[in-house]
């Protein structure tokens, strides 16, 4: 059974979930804006720490595993490159997740007054 757009809206409004659908749209939009802002924050302020902590962490780990100073061999250089990639990935995940979380919270905050206004208008009519 297929529904067109108008029948979908009729079903939503008949179930009383129209405002929930609108709230979900607002929250999803806030999450997308927050995640995009998180990507921009990563590009501006997350690339350098990703490089730094990834390479430094890998050097410390290799130094502990080898028991002393690390020689610049091919294995060590490859491990540092992998460490830098892991550091960048971790920094990107943290920035995008934090931005998405903040955007979702702002989406809830923005959608709250409209729900309160509808509730107040409904109680005023009764």
Looking at residue 46, the DSSP 8-state letter turns out to be T
**CA-CA distance, 114 to 120, in Å (whole number)?**
10
pLDDT confidence of residue 20: 65
Q: How many angstroms separate the Cα of 46 from the Cα of each of 53, 93, 101? A: 11, 10, 17
pLDDT confidence of residue 124: 72
Q: What is the pTM of this model?
A: 0.72
Q: Going from the first residue of the chain to its last (126 residues), give the mean pLDDT of each consecutive group of 10, the final group possibly shorter.
A: 54 55 81 94 94 94 92 94 96 96 92 73 70
Mean pLDDT, the chain, rounded, equals 84
Domain boundaries, the chain: 26-113
């Amino acid at each position: 059974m297929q529904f067109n757009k108008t029948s979908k809206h009729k079903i939503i409004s008949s179930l009383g979930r129209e405002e929930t659908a609108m709230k979900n749209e607002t929250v999803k939009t806030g999450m997308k804006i927050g995640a995009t802002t998180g990507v921009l924050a990563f590009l501006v302020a997350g690339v350098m720490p990703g490089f730094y902590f990834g390479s430094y962490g890998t050097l410390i780990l290799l130094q502990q595993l080898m028991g002393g100073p690390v020689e610049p061999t091919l294995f060590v250089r490859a491990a540092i490159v992998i460490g830098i990639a892991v550091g960048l990935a971790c920094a990107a995940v943290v920035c995008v997740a934090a931005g998405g979380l903040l955007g979702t919270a702002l989406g809830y905050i923005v959608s709250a007054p409209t729900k309160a206004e509808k509730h107040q208008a409904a109680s005023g009519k009764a």
